[in-house]
Each structure stands twice: as C-alpha cells, then as structure tokens.
Structure 1
Amino acid sequence: MGLVERTEAIETLDGLLAASVAGKGRVAVVTGPVATGRTELLNTFADRVVDLNGLAITATGSRSEQDLPLGVMSQLLLDAPLVDEERRRAMNLLYEGAQTLTHGDGGTHRLDPQIVHSLCTVLLELSRRYPLVVVVDDLDRADHASLVCLSYLARRVRFASMLALFSHSGHRRSGTPVLDVDGLARPPHGAHIVLATLSAEGVREMAAEALDEDDATRLAPRWHQISGGNPLLVGGLVEDHRQALADGVAPGGEPVPGGQYAEAVVSCLRRTEERMQRVAQALAILPDAASLDKLTGLEPAQVAQAVRALTAAGLLHRGDYRHPVAREAVLAQLDDGERVALHRRAAEIAYHEGAVSQVVAEHLLRAGQADDPWVVPVLEDAARQALRAGRVDAAVDYLRLAWQTCADDRHRAKIMTTMMRAGWRINPSMSTGYLPELTAAMQNGFLRSGDALVLTKALLWNGQFADARSVFEQLNASADEHDQETLTELAIARPLLRSTYPSFFPMLRPQAPLAPTPIPTVSAGHRLEAASALATVLTRGPSEPLAAGVERILHNSRLDEMSLDTVESALFALTYSGHADRAVPWCDTFVEEAGARQAPSRLARLAAIRAEISLRLGELPAAVRHARLALESMPPSSWGVAVGGPLAALITAATAMGDYDLVREQLDQPVAEEMFQTRYGMHYLHARGRYSLAIGQLPFALRDFEQCGELAARWKLDVPGLIPWRTDAAEALLRMGRPGPARKLVDEQLARCGKDAPRVHGMAMRLLAATSELRHRPMFLRQAVDLQTAGGDEYELARALADLTEAYHVLGESRRAGMIARRARALADKAQAQPLLKMLTRGGNWDESESVAQPLNAAGGAAMLSDAEHRVAALAAEGYTNREISMKLYITISTVEQHLTRTYRKLNVTRRTDLPANLNLDFSVAG
C-alpha cells in the first residue's frame, strides 16, 4: 500500500537531497513508532535517488547481528560500486577492524580510530564521483563499531555531496552510547522527521487503495480505533475483510479482526526491543500498568517508556490492548512454561496487592497449578462470588482447582461437595462423577454431616438408594455430634424427604418437640418454611393462610441461592393446594431468570413445574410445551428419578390432546425402578394409567391407578391435591361395567374433598353423575361445572360440560344440550383436546339448529354488559333456566328476565341460544 500521509516527509528528503547534490551534505534522521512506515519511506526514497541519477547504498541494523563487528559498515561497502583497489582496501580494513575488536589487547576491544577514518574515507571519496545517499535503517540495532563509524561519517558530510539518512525507533536500549546523529540532524544542516500513526482519514485512504470506496468509508472509523492508525495493523484488518468477502461472509458495520490482524500485531512486537516485548506479554496477562514492573522485573521507568512506545504504535490505548484479538495474539506467542509462570506471578502480585478474589482466581486457573497456602481460600471465595453472579462454569473451575490444590482430606471433601452443588445448576448428571469419592469420604469420616446431606440428595436423585441408606445410617450414628449447620439442614431435609422421597423419611430421627432447631439465616428459614408448607399440603391438605405464606416466601426468593429447594417447594405447595393460577406469574418469573442466568438445570426443573401448573389449569398445549422445554434443557439421562415429573405432565397432556404417538415415544423412555419409590413415580403411574384408559386398555389403567393409591396410603400422601387416583380408577371401573366399586371410590373421594379442592371435587361430581340415575345427572354435573369453573381447570370443565350435554340430550332437552355443547366445544378446541372435540362433534344427536347460528357482533358486544347482566347471560348461555338463575344468584325471576331483555338488545340477539358461548370464560360467575 502507498505512502499514505507521508508526502511532507518525502518533500523534506527531496530538499535535503538537492542540497547534497549542490555539495552541501546533509544528515536526516527518521524516527517513529514501530511499524509506522520508516523502512518503506527509506526504501522509496532510495529508489527516487536512483531515478535522479544519484547513488544510494543501504544497510539495515538487526538484533541478530548486533554482536557482529562492523556488520552494518560491511553492508554499506558491499553495496557501494567500488573499483577493485578500493574494494580490496575496504575489505582489508573491515577484516583488520573485526580482528581488533575480537582479539583486542587488555580486553578493551576498542576500534582503532585510524580504521574508522579509513573506512569513512572510502565513502567520502565515493561521493566525489556520484551524489551519494547513505541509507541505514534501524540504526538503533546496528553493532557498536558501525555506530562509531557512522557517527564519524555524519560529522564529515557537510562539505560532501552526500546525504546520510538514518532511521531508528527513538527508544534506545539501556547501555547504548548516545550517538551524535540526532544532534547533527538539525536545521539548517539536517532534519529530524517523525512519522506518526495515520489519522482516521489516512486509514480511509489506505483502505480505499484495496477496497471499495464505500466499504473503506464505512469501516475506517472503527479500524482506526482498533489499529490506532498503525499502517501494518490497518493492512491486517484490510486483509481480514477481503478474506471475509472471499469466504462469502458479508461483514456488517462492525469489523471482525482475524488472523491477518493478529499476525500484524505479532509482527509489530517482533520489531521491538526485548523489554517492550516483555511488557506487552505482561499486559496480556495482567492489564494493570501499576504492577507491570513486578511482573516483568523491569524498572518502573523502563516499563513506563515501553507502555508509551506501545501506545504510540497503536497497540495499546489507556494501558490496555485496543482489541481482544491483539491480546490473544500476544498470549499465543508464549510457550506453555512462560504463560504458566507469568500467570502464577500475576496471581501472587494480585493477591498481595489486595485484588478481588476472582481476578486472582483467573490467574491461578490459567496457571493450572498453585501451592501457596492462601490459594484455596481465594479460589473458594471466587467461586462463591461467581455463583452469586450466575457464572456457574467459572465457579466449578475455581472449585476444581481448589480441590486439586488442597491437601486436607476433610477440606477436600467440603470443596467437592460445593463443586457438586454448583455443577447441579448446569446438569445434575455432573454429580455422578463426584459420588464415589464423596461416599468414600463419608465412610472415612472426612465428610461433615451437613455436606453428607448434600451427598444424600445427589444419591437419591440418581437413584442410588442403597448408598443413600448407608449415609443416613452414619448420620444417625453421629447424631450427638451434629453442629448447628447440620441440625439446620436436617430440619429442612425432613419435610423435603416427606414430600419427595417418602420411603426415606422414617430414616431421619424426629426432632425433640421441646427443642426446636434455631435457624441461623433468613435463606435457611425460607427453605424450611417452604419445605414444611409442601409437606403440610401433601399430608394434611391446603389452607389459605398457608398459600399466603408461600407467596410471601416466593416474593423474597431469588435464584442466586445455592439451592433451588425454596422456590421449588413453594411453587409445588401452591400448585398442589389448588392455587395453580397463583403459581403462574411466580413460576414464569423464575423461568425467565433461569434462562437469563444460563442455568439449564434450574430452567429444566422450573419448566417441569410450569408444565404441571399448566396441566392443572387445563392448558394442554402449554403443558406439552413446558414439559418439552424441561426435557430439552436437561436430557432425560440427567433427570435421575425426577424424570417422572416432566414425563408425567407431557404424557397426561398429550393423551388428552390425542397425540398418542408422542405418548408412546415418552413411554418408551427407560426409567429407573427406584423412581417408583418417589413422588415422581406416582405422577408417572397416574399419567400412564390415563393413557391406558384413553386407548381402552382398562385393566392396565386400573392397575396403575390402584398402585398410586397403595403408595399414597403407605406414604400418607393421600390428599386430593396430589393425584386424584380414585376418580380415574372409578372411571376405569365404570367402563369395565363395575358401577358398584366405582361408586364406592367416588364417595371416598368426595369425602376427602373440602372447599379448598374444587378441581378434584368437580372431577368426583362428574363421576358421581355417571354412577347415578339419569334424572339426577344434570344436577350433579351442574355442580361439577361450577366447581371446575372455580377450580380453573378448563379441560376438566370441558369434560363436565360434555357429560352435561349428553345428559340433557338423553333426557330429551335438545335445546339445552345444544347450548352447552357450544361452550364445551369452545373449551375443547382451546385445549386442543381432539378426542373430546371429536366426541362433541360426532357423538351428540342433539338439535343444534337453534344453537349454531350466532351474530358476528355478539361476542364483541359482551363488553357492553353490566356485571349483573354478564352473570345472568353467562348462566343462560350454559343452559340454566330463569328459575335456576334466580335461585343461583339470589334474585327474582323478573329481574332475570329484565337482565336478559337488556342483554339481547345490547348483543343484537333474539334468543338465549344466540348468546356467546364464551361469556363465562371472560367473567367469573359468582356462586
């Protein structure tokens, strides 16, 4: 690429050359940051001298030849067009001078001044025949003897037809003698030309030589920021852009530095002195200029000079690399040993200077090893901070290094436990790798009791029940030695086991009733309260104060705790207590937070809860969607025995939707036998039974429902809010032609349902109607509809309405049947419950001629109704008579008629069969 923004420098050199041709010798020095075009300027000017019939002889200083005596002078004399006699004399002088320096007497190794004079005389005599330009690039890298000769020559060019043109970086290494050339290159007898990095316009001009003008204009500002205007770095960016275009990638407005830019960075550093390279490497490790002297071993002044030089070269900005690719390129040039040593030293410096633990830990991690006693506590603290910030992968890495470094067996076991808990956020299957060692640590007495409970949870999750029993036995054996933390964890473990792993609940010794365990932290208190609420709901049933307390816990909970137990227990407590609708906003908030924190394990577990919530609200597509998310965020193999939760929700919802292929796909998933010793196993059995019932395999369905009942009774978890196994078993028995046993189960279920279980109560009333005389069925089904409306399960509401439709049809009340069928179909369609929808469409022979037609504006006009009109219209749309409506709403029949008259007028309808079927979906009917 051309000499962009170097016109003034060329013009200055042209003027000096003209003076030299006139016999007025001149000295010029070109300086500037590394890779800013000094060499290209000198080479270009040397070519111009030849074009003007002058003579240019050139040489270049090199770090590898700095110990070669008279190396630069030999380059110049070999490049000069000397006659044979002159060349022999010059070579003899070079040989004699080199011998003197190599084998000097007394170890002084000084060059004979006569040799200096004679060598320079050769060049001075040459200038009498030609206008001569002596060009030496990288003068600061020339050998000492050549520097002495060139300094001598520069003092004698004034009255010769010679221009002495030198370049150097402007940053001499320590110990190099100060040369006279800088002092001689002053006006009027010389010039000091300083090359700066390019301006933004210069970058654009340089890019325009190789790219489309529009691309150059668009990219130049950002390229200038990344390169600092260094021409070599700009060239790398241009080449990366061209390569991206060649690869079919069309970069947008943000340039993407790649391999060519990285190579340009490395090339820049290779041209600098060793101390600048050391500082550059140290900055790539520890971007803290205040500590670079300690990391490099250089004097602070030397470090400051190197930072200024690297900044001037466009590599740094405000003490740091302008782009991460530059940093990575510098690090890539370090061998493994150098990188480890620098990171270890940086960790020590950061620690002793009070840096935050995560900064120290990152250096320790990159070093990969550490032996100092302060290392383990720092890594543990960094892990805690990372977990609070949601950086779980980093926390696990810190803990793994701490575990590898720690020499104390008890402390190692504690670290591994923390590591397992942290990894649980990403994938519970990560814990399987820790279980054998933690189990061994437990057996050897190295695991604290509190950590032993963490181990137990992991063993239970992974279905390793035999090992879990062994841990429980050891916990009981050391009960008198438990510390406060262990007592707290045991207090929390009791209700959790009671709710999820009930077969292990008896293995925990009960607390003394007169000595309750004090809870040391608010977080632990919330965990205990939430776990206890869940256990209470599943053993005694729900209550409004309990639900309010659970919502208070959720309001004060965050996902930055080490355990999801609090949120999970609270959400399940709300869901099982019949308040699934109240659990929705909380669960959605936590699902969103888990996604934002990139915690797949937590996202999966929360999505499984959300699927269960959707299922209990009759939102079948949502249940399938959330269950799929749970199983995709965390594969079934990582779910352990808890896989029964999302699988059950998916199977139940897909069965109701008629997607039997999806159900069979899930039932083909292998599950551990140990799952059936957990609450998740009960859900799975119930879901499998619902599928068997749907496809007509009634004995298999009844077997699964009865097994649910046996487990519920054995574990004392037989509450309506958990699994309504009696209603499903009754339905199976009815379809098997056994109404007597079916009626008995229905009566038992009704006896267990209180006012806090309207959903299950409604299911039982629907089955009660099926076991009752035909003339009583509408009454029971009306109650079932009211209960499901209050319970909020739209799918079960659709089922109750479908049965009510059939009952009215059989009783010959076709008009009522038609009205109710409309609403049942609307609900079934919303839930995508295809089997129910098909039954409603083809199974009824009721007269729909009066109920199908509906004015287009009727549904929209519902918003114009008053609350009282809305309540009356909603009940009328469900098929209630005026007398039934008056009794239900405690108003007179005349008032009902007046409300209906006004409703017909507002909705532009003429009869009750034209009322919108979704009125009750938009408004909660009292009573």
Structure 2
Amino acid sequence: MAPDDRRQDAALLMELLEEAKAGRGRIAMVTGAVATGKSELLHDFAEQALRHGALPLSATGSLAERDLPLGVLSQLVRNTPADEHRAATLDLLREGARAHLSRAPGAESFAHVDAQIVDALCTVLLKLSERRPLAIVVDDVQHADRASQLCLSYLARRVRYARVMLVLSGPDHHAHPHPLLRTEVERQPHCRPVRLAHLAEEGVAERVRQREGAQAADRFAARCHELSGGNRLLADAALEDLRATGEPGEKYADAVLACLQRADPDLLPVARALAVMGEPGAAGRLLGRGEAATARAVQALAGAGLLAGGRFRHEAAASAVLAGLDTSELIDLHRRAAELTYQEGAPAAVVAGHLLRATHAGDPWALSVLEEAAKQALRDDGVESAIEYLKLAWQACDDERRRARITTTLVRARWRIDPGTQTGQLAELTEALHQGHLGGGDAIVLARALLWHGHVADAKDVLGCLGDGGELDREAVAELDATRAWLRSSWPAFLPHLPEPPAEQAGGAARSLGADRRLVSADALASTLSEGPQEELVTVAERILRGSRLDEMSMDAVECALLTLIYSDRADRAAPWCDVFVSEAADRHAPSRQARLSAIRAEISLRRGDLAAAARDAQRALELVSPESWGVAVGAPLGILLMAGAGMGRHLDYLRQAAQPVPEAMLETRFAAQYLYGKGRFALMSGQPRQALRDLRLCGELTCAWGLDVPEFVPWRLDAAEALIRLGEVDEARGLIETQLAGCGKRSKRVHGMALRLLAAASEVRHRVMLLRRAADLLRAGGDRYEHARALFDLTEAYHAIGEHRRAGMLSGRAGALAQECHAGGLIRDPARARRNGQVNGQVNGQVNGRLNGHAGGQSPEAALSEAEQRVAALAADGYSNREISGKLFITVSTVEQHLTRIYRKLNVSRRRDLPAGLAGRSL
C-alpha cells in the first residue's frame, strides 16, 4: 500500500457517510489480512462520523464471545441513547438469547432466532436513524455470533433508503472460504468493497520515518519490510528489536503470536506444522490435510505477512509459533515429523534434527540415522551438531559393541573442540575394551588419547589388551604403524610398549591415502629430529601439505609436516602453509586444531625473530584450549611463550606461566624438551644462570636419551654455555660450543651463527670482532632477526672493547632498530650495555637517523649511487677502513677514495660517520 492509500480509503468512507446522511443508505465491506489497519481505519471513521453529526454505534466480534447469542448486536444497542425504545430493545435481546439457548442440541442457531425479534431489533435501529444518521461499525465481523450475523444481514438489506452507514470489517475472502455475511452483504447494490493491503517498502519507510526519524528509516526500513512483508504490527515490533539488539527478538515474536491469535484459529496448527517441517507440502502431510486446505492456510499466512516463499520470514517467527506448545505436544510433533521424514527418504541431518528435538531414538532405524548424520556433520564442520547426534545415539543404544563405537566417534568429535572433556568417555572405552567390545583401531585411538592426558599406566594396559587380542584388522594395523611413527618423534620412551603386528601383517597392510600420509609425515618428522635436516624430507613435507585438507584424520599429518619444515630450518617456507591451515581451522570451528596450529605458528615466529607475534600466538593457543586440556603437549606453547617473553624483557608479565605446574608424564615426551629449553632461556634472561643451567642440562639429558639431539630442534648446549659464561666457567662453556659446532657443521646457518656469537664471548677480546662478523652474517642469512640483533649488539661491544668507537657507533643504531623491529625489549634495555654505550650510541644515532630522515625527496640513499658505489658505501657505513674495503672488493685504495668522494657529494654528507643508517648491514 502506498503511503496515501489509507487517506483515500478514509475519504471514501466519508463520501459514503455523506450519501447515507442524505437518505441513501450505504454499506462498506472492509477486508484485508491481519494487521493491515482495518481496526484503525474503523476507529478513525467512527470518530469522524461523530464530528460530522452521525451517531456512531460500534461493536467488535471476538472469538471468545462467538457463542454469546446476540452479543455483537447487544454492543450496538447498548451504545444507543437511553430513550423509551432502549428498554424494549434490551428485552428483545434477552428474549432472543433465551430462544437461542433453548435450541435443541446440534440445531442451527438461525432456526432458533425468531424472525420477529430480528425484525423488531432492526426496526429500532431504523427508527433511530430517522432522528439522527447512524454509523454502525462492526470490526472483526467474522467472529460475531451467528444470531448477530443474521441480524446484520437482515439490516443490510433494509438500509438502502435509510440514513444508515453500515461498516463491517473482516479478513480476506480466501482465508474464509464459506463466510456467513460476505455473499449476502457484498451482493447488495449499495455495498462498496474497501480492500486494505500491507504497506509497500516505501510505506514502511514512511512509517519508520514518522516514528523514529530519517536516520532510522535509512538504517532499518528495508529490514523491517523484509521481516514483516508490510504488516504494520510486525514492522513496528521489528523496528523496536532492531533498534535494541540489531536482530528480531522478543517484540517481533510477540507480534507474530498476536497476528496468529487475531487470525482464523484453523491457521495455528498449520503454522506450527510449518515451523516444524519448513515447507508447506510437508506441513500438510504432517497434519494429514489435503493439499487444497493446506494451500489456503499457507496463502492466508502469507497474506498476513508471516511467510515469504512458503517459509517464515525469520527463525524467530518459527520459534515463537512453537513456544506456545506444551513440551509433550512439541515432542510428539517432532516425533511424528521424524517418522514422516524418514519414510519419505529425507537427508539424515533432517531426520536426526527431529529426533533430537523429540529426545527420542527408540525406533529401530533411529540409531543408523543419527550415526550417519553425525558422520556428515563432522565432514561438514558441524561439530556441535555431531556431538548432539552422538549423545542421543549413545543414550538410546543398548548394544555394547555398537555403543563403544559411538563413544569412540564422540571422543573424536569432542577432541576437535576441547581435548579436556573426554575423561568420562575414556574410562568407559577402557571398560568396553576389557569386555571385548572395542575394536583394534579404536583401541589405539584410545591409547593415544590416554597418553595425551598423561595416563601412562592406562595406555599401557590398553595396548597390552590389544597385543593379547590376536590378529588385527587392516585399519588397526595402519593405525598401529602411524602411531609408532608418531611415538618416535613425540614419545620415544613409550615405544617399547607398542605391540608389534603379526609377522605376516607387518609392513604389508594396505592403507588408505589419509593413513599413508599420516605415516609418511610422522616418519619425516621423526627422521628430522633424530638425523637432522634432509632435503628429501623437506620435499616430502611440502608434498603432504599441498595435498592435505584439514579434516579429522589429516591434522596429525599437517602438524608433523609443518614441524619437519621448522626443524629443517625452513620456518620461512612453513609460515604461509601454517597461516592457510590456521584460517581453515577457524572456518571449520575446530578450537583444538586452531590451538595446535597457533602453537606451531608461534614457533615459526620465534625462529624468525618476531617475538611479539610468537607470544601472541602462543598465548592464543593456551586460551583456545586450556593448559589442562593441552595435556602433556602443553610444554610446546608454554616453552615458546617463555622464550618470547624473556626476549621481550617482560619477565614479570610471564612469571605465572614460568611457575605453572605441568603434567609429570610430560617429562617423557618431546614437549618436555621444548618446555625445559624455554624455561631455561627464561631463567637465563631473568639473571638466574644456575637455575637455567639445571633446566638446560635436563633438556640435554632427555634429548640425548631419546635420540632427538639435533641442534635444529633445541640447541640447548648454546644456552647452557651462555649460562656457564655468566657463571665464569668459560672453559666448560667453550667445550659445549665446540661440540655444538661439530654437531651441526654448516648445515644450519641459524645455529652456526648462534654458536659463533657465544664462541666470541668465550674467546679473547682480539678474536671477537671476526667471530661476531661471521655470526651476524650467518644469522642474517638464517632469517632469525632476534639472534641477528643479539650478534650486532655483541659486535658493537666488541668494537668498543678494542677502541673502535666509531665503528661501534655505526652499528649501534642498526642493532637498536633491529631490536625494536623484533620487539626485543630485553636487548634494548640491557643496563650494562646502556652504561657502556649509551652516550656514544645516542650521539651517533641522532646524526645518522637525522641524515636518513632528511634525505631529499624521501628517496632511498642507494638510489642515487651506482652499483659499485653502493658496495663501497655499505662497507664504509659498517665501519670498514679504506684499506679493508680495498681488500674485500679487490680494488685499489685510490679507487675506494674516488668512490667515497662521489658518494659524499651525491648524498650531501662530508664524512663517513654521516652516511645514512640505511646503508649499514648491506656488507654483512
């Protein structure tokens, strides 16, 4: 309805009233769906009629009073003036009511309303109109009692030449296929139909604008129309909810119920069935109604603005319709819906949804449906739904073997969200295993879950039962192979407790693609940790990552492949893969996987020298899944968090994590090495070298005992050596450093550079500069900016120690900038270094940064130089003398001097110390 249509309707009624006042009686039949404004229009008309000299007589039909004889007519008569006719009229009403009540059971009302009484009542009204024009207004006439409807139809035939305006309102014709008055009234030549419609979108916008202003109309009008279809009641309620919360809520739900209460009672069952089934055809079949009857009801509901395309406009509407049902009624409705959808071959998720709402799975077919629905939900990342399906199946299942299988699936589903919620199910599965109800593959999954939580004795017991169980099926053998590979890298001390498959099955079982990837990936990680990086293993890891999607069985494969890259010094190549899988885990609503991948992302950031990112991701890993739920694996994110916190100089912020208790069983796992290394680094940076040494030596003992002593994993010897240097045990420290250098050779630039930095600290002053230059060069190439910054700070101090203050000054700015980039507050705020270098560094940094920031046009310094000049300028900025530059570049000293003259002129500087800081580091 356009905004001005209502004014046109009101004007039409007033025109008819004027004709009636002139003695040409008129009838208006006002129709429309629920909340199209019929009552409002009739009320306004009655007010206008009074102001224009007519006597308004108003009545409203009510479903609750439908059996009250002559109730509506009584409302009209009681509004007439108190004169000599009124007492007689009331007597007629009472007589008519008595006649109605005396009718025989089952007889029609009309047969027991005396025609003379009807005539007398109508005559009273007609005589009254001779003295003053009447405006007789009856709202919701479809709910009027039958006797009153008979009187109104009688009156309609007699007002054509009377001063009477009769206005009746009712619903659309299609909602009431057999109306009592419509045929009789609408066929009268003096009757005019007035059809009301819902508001169009511009009408809703105008309504919102009038109530809340133009800004609210711009924000909410389109959404209000979408939720209401122009129904005024729904639109107003939607507006209130949208302004309060941004979504349809309580007000909207109440308005939906109000619309249904004012509509035909026969529509409510259809609305409820539609809320349960979702589409009209199924709703009709659920109620056992014919297609025609259902279609009429759906059309009426759509006309009321409740439906769009045969469905409720919002879930809040469907929920409101069902909220009025008793629990038993709602359960019965969903139970019948489950049977119907199953018989009609609906998808498992649809049938299972009804079973859930009915809290019933007692039918023979129900368990299979719930298991299939859970399987599909897990595949489509609906973990919460899968858990609910499995819980209901578990409650309904009385077959012990099948129940154990359901419990295993439930454990796996819950593991995706939080591994710490499995305690009860693990105990149940252990009992099922002892009773012979748990298969081999599921038993191995159970053992791994027990190990995760540190229940070592229980895991041994489970595997002992498995070893005594005879032949294993193909799935169990594949699971056993993958678990053995996983134990090699994660829990090597537990390997002897894993049963061996029968000789004829060992190594010969056919495996699925997923199981094969898990095995290959775990083997790659185990080999990397025991033998060191190998290019072919890097290739294997990347191939696995390229072919993996983060489903239920691939998480272990993805995790092992990423760690293989990290421990092969390929953190830069692991980073983009990890980011992809972190995003996928978030999309798939799998907090447990997000946490494990966040811990890996934290380790990548740590090895690339981004301390803030490492701390953030490690903290996120511990928030997504609580430390208790991390089980023995908590050592990985906790160790990374402590290392990052120490590097940032935020020891006080992470004291709680440093003192956090960890499972005792963790000391038998790879995660203990990561935790002890992080804890040792934290103690070392906190000024507790003896405590650090204890943790680092224990870390070394464990990794050596397990055969995982590769420096690319945890170079514990280097941090132990640093602790010894701080304790004055330089000779012992040098021995550890040399052992580490011999162990890693030159395959790891990162570890090699770290070792050379510490070797410099354990060497004579005159040798330190050379060692630290090499260390800085290696660490820059290795991609660890934090360790690179440490080397540059040490190199700065080494230059000071030999009196090369100018070179020290040149490097200090670069070291500070790199430390800031890494968020390495622990390096920047080192008090001893500040005392040694503060004054010189401050002067030099101010001059160098001033030159760089003030460079003409914002252009980078090297852009103005030739390639040869850039090489000379970089070495000069790093503090090399002309002769040293000559030797490094194989040119004469004179050529160096000529290059420098041109460099100074192009960069507008007069001396070496004024060269821009951006050139420093290019020579390393």
TM-score strictly above 0.5: yes
- Given that 2:404 and 2:432 are in contact with CA atoms closer than 8 Å, whether structure 1 keeps it comes out as yes
What residue is the counterpart of 2:707 in the other structure?
716
Partner-residue secondary structure (3-state), 2:682:
helix
- CA distance in structure 2 between the partners assigned to 1:813 and 1:211 by the alignment: 75
- Given that 2:454 and 2:663 are in contact with CA atoms closer than 8 Å, whether structure 1 keeps it comes out as yes
- Given that 2:36 and 2:196 are in contact with CA atoms closer than 8 Å, whether structure 1 keeps it comes out as yes
- CA distance in structure 1 between the partners assigned to 2:3 and 2:748 by the alignment: 85
Cα pair distance change 1:335/1:24, threshold 3 Å: same
Partner-residue secondary structure (3-state), 1:298:
coil
What residue is the counterpart of 1:523 in the other structure?
514
Identify the range of structure 1 (679-688 vs 844-853) with the bigger mean alpha-carbon deviation. Answer: 844-853
Cα pair distance change 1:887/1:709, threshold 3 Å: farther
**Which of 334, 358, 363 in structure 1 is aligned with 2:349?**
358
- Given that 1:389 and 1:560 are in contact with CA atoms closer than 8 Å, whether structure 2 keeps it comes out as no
Residue 647 (structure 1) shift: 1.5
What residue is the counterpart of 2:472 in the other structure?
482
Cα pair distance change 1:697/1:14, threshold 3 Å: closer
Q: Does 1:367 align with 2:358?
A: yes
Equivalent positions of 1:207-222 (< 5 A) are 207=208, 210-212=211-213, 215=216, 219-222=220-223
**Which of 827, 835, 853 in structure 2 is aligned with 1:842?**
835
Residue 269 (structure 1) shift: 0.4
- CA distance in structure 1 between the partners assigned to 2:721 and 2:217 by the alignment: 78
What residue is the counterpart of 1:97 in the other structure?
99
Q: Does 1:461 align with 2:484?
A: no
What residue is the counterpart of 1:190 in the other structure?
191
Equivalent positions of 1:324-403 (< 5 A) are 324-403=315-394
Q: Does 1:757 align with 2:743?
A: no
Partner-residue secondary structure (3-state), 2:340:
helix
Residue 665 (structure 1) shift: 2.6
In the alignment, residue 323 of structure 1 is paired with which amino acid? H
Partner-residue secondary structure (3-state), 1:306:
helix
Q: Give the share of equivalent positions with the same residue, in percent.
A: 49
Identify the range of structure 1 (797-806 vs 747-756) with the bigger mean alpha-carbon deviation. Answer: 797-806
Residue 717 (structure 1) shift: 0.8
What residue is the counterpart of 2:690 in the other structure?
699
- CA distance in structure 2 between the partners assigned to 1:835 and 1:96 by the alignment: 99
Partner-residue secondary structure (3-state), 1:752:
helix
What residue is the counterpart of 2:485 in the other structure?
495
| Deviations, residues 898-925 of structure 1 (Å, cap 9, x unaligned) | 87777666555566655555557568x6
Could you tell me which runs of 5 or more consecutive residues in structure 1 were left unpaired when the two chains were aligned.
Answer: none
What residue is the counterpart of 1:781 in the other structure?
772
- Given that 2:70 and 2:93 are in contact with CA atoms closer than 8 Å, whether structure 1 keeps it comes out as no
What residue is the counterpart of 2:293 in the other structure?
302
Q: Does 1:559 align with 2:559?
A: no
Equivalent positions of 1:717-732 (< 5 A) are 717-732=708-723
Partner-residue secondary structure (3-state), 2:193:
strand
Identify the range of structure 1 (664-673 vs 383-392) with the bigger mean alpha-carbon deviation. Answer: 383-392
| Deviations, residues 776-798 of structure 1 (Å, cap 9, x unaligned) | 44444343333323322222233
**Which of 615, 619, 628 in structure 1 is aligned with 2:619?**
628
In the alignment, residue 117 of structure 1 is paired with which amino acid? Q
Partner-residue secondary structure (3-state), 1:29:
strand
Partner-residue secondary structure (3-state), 2:437:
coil
What residue is the counterpart of 1:117 in the other structure?
116
In the alignment, residue 194 of structure 1 is paired with which amino acid? R
- CA distance in structure 2 between the partners assigned to 1:903 and 1:743 by the alignment: 43
Equivalent positions of 1:228-627 (< 5 A) are 228-237=229-238, 256-478=247-469, 480-510=470-500, 515-518=506-509, 520-627=511-618
- CA distance in structure 2 between the partners assigned to 1:790 and 1:597 by the alignment: 37
- Given that 2:768 and 2:798 are in contact with CA atoms closer than 8 Å, whether structure 1 keeps it comes out as yes
- CA distance in structure 2 between the partners assigned to 1:344 and 1:894 by the alignment: 97
| Deviations, residues 458-513 of structure 1 (Å, cap 9, x unaligned) | 222222222222222222223x4322222222221112111112221222245669
In the alignment, residue 602 of structure 1 is paired with which amino acid? R
Cα pair distance change 1:179/1:889, threshold 3 Å: same
In the alignment, residue 426 of structure 2 is paired with which amino acid? L
Residue 574 (structure 1) shift: 0.9
In the alignment, residue 115 of structure 1 is paired with which amino acid? D
- CA distance in structure 1 between the partners assigned to 2:674 and 2:612 by the alignment: 19
Cα pair distance change 1:702/1:285, threshold 3 Å: same
Residue 539 (structure 1) shift: 0.7
Cα pair distance change 1:372/1:897, threshold 3 Å: farther
- Given that 1:128 and 1:161 are in contact with CA atoms closer than 8 Å, whether structure 2 keeps it comes out as no
Partner-residue secondary structure (3-state), 1:30:
strand
Equivalent positions of 1:819-838 (< 5 A) are 819-837=810-828, 838=830
In the alignment, residue 116 of structure 1 is paired with which amino acid? A
- Given that 1:575 and 1:583 are in contact with CA atoms closer than 8 Å, whether structure 2 keeps it comes out as yes
Q: Does 1:169 align with 2:171?
A: yes
Residue 208 (structure 1) shift: 5.4
In the alignment, residue 843 of structure 1 is paired with which amino acid? R
Cα pair distance change 1:73/1:554, threshold 3 Å: same
Partner-residue secondary structure (3-state), 1:647:
helix
| Deviations, residues 23-72 of structure 1 (Å, cap 9, x unaligned) | 55554433221232333434444455555555554444333333445544
Residue 719 (structure 1) shift: 0.9
- Given that 2:3 and 2:206 are in contact with CA atoms closer than 8 Å, whether structure 1 keeps it comes out as no
| Deviations, residues 531-589 of structure 1 (Å, cap 9, x unaligned) | 11111110111012211221222222233445521221111111111112222222223
**Which of 141, 144, 147 in structure 2 is aligned with 1:142?**
144
- CA distance in structure 2 between the partners assigned to 1:21 and 1:786 by the alignment: 106
- CA distance in structure 2 between the partners assigned to 1:58 and 1:849 by the alignment: 93
- CA distance in structure 2 between the partners assigned to 1:514 and 1:227 by the alignment: 67
Residue 153 (structure 1) shift: 4.4
TM-score, normalised to structure 2, is 0.88
Q: Does 1:860 align with 2:860?
A: yes
Cα pair distance change 1:83/1:669, threshold 3 Å: same
| Deviations, residues 217-249 of structure 1 (Å, cap 9, x unaligned) | 7654443333222233344346657xx5xxxx6
- CA distance in structure 2 between the partners assigned to 1:282 and 1:226 by the alignment: 20
- CA distance in structure 2 between the partners assigned to 1:607 and 1:236 by the alignment: 44
Residue 304 (structure 1) shift: 0.8
Could you tell me which runs of 5 or more consecutive residues in structure 2 were left unpaired when the two chains were aligned.
Answer: none
- Given that 2:273 and 2:283 are in contact with CA atoms closer than 8 Å, whether structure 1 keeps it comes out as yes
- CA distance in structure 2 between the partners assigned to 1:17 and 1:689 by the alignment: 96
Q: Does 1:127 align with 2:126?
A: yes
- Given that 2:521 and 2:541 are in contact with CA atoms closer than 8 Å, whether structure 1 keeps it comes out as yes
In the alignment, residue 198 of structure 1 is paired with which amino acid? L
Identify the range of structure 1 (436-445 vs 871-880) with the bigger mean alpha-carbon deviation. Answer: 871-880
In the alignment, residue 495 of structure 2 is paired with which amino acid? F
- Given that 2:367 and 2:393 are in contact with CA atoms closer than 8 Å, whether structure 1 keeps it comes out as yes
Residue 200 (structure 1) shift: 3.9
Partner-residue secondary structure (3-state), 2:114:
helix
In the alignment, residue 701 of structure 1 is paired with which amino acid? A
Cα pair distance change 1:718/1:888, threshold 3 Å: farther
Cα pair distance change 1:201/1:716, threshold 3 Å: closer
Pairwise CA RMSD: 3.7
Residue 834 (structure 1) shift: 4.0
Identify the range of structure 1 (285-294 vs 228-237) with the bigger mean alpha-carbon deviation. Answer: 228-237
Identify the range of structure 1 (705-714 vs 777-786) with the bigger mean alpha-carbon deviation. Answer: 777-786
In the alignment, residue 545 of structure 1 is paired with which amino acid? E
- Given that 1:422 and 1:562 are in contact with CA atoms closer than 8 Å, whether structure 2 keeps it comes out as no
Partner-residue secondary structure (3-state), 1:274:
coil
Identify the range of structure 1 (576-585 vs 735-744) with the bigger mean alpha-carbon deviation. Answer: 735-744
Identify the range of structure 1 (759-768 vs 897-906) with the bigger mean alpha-carbon deviation. Answer: 897-906
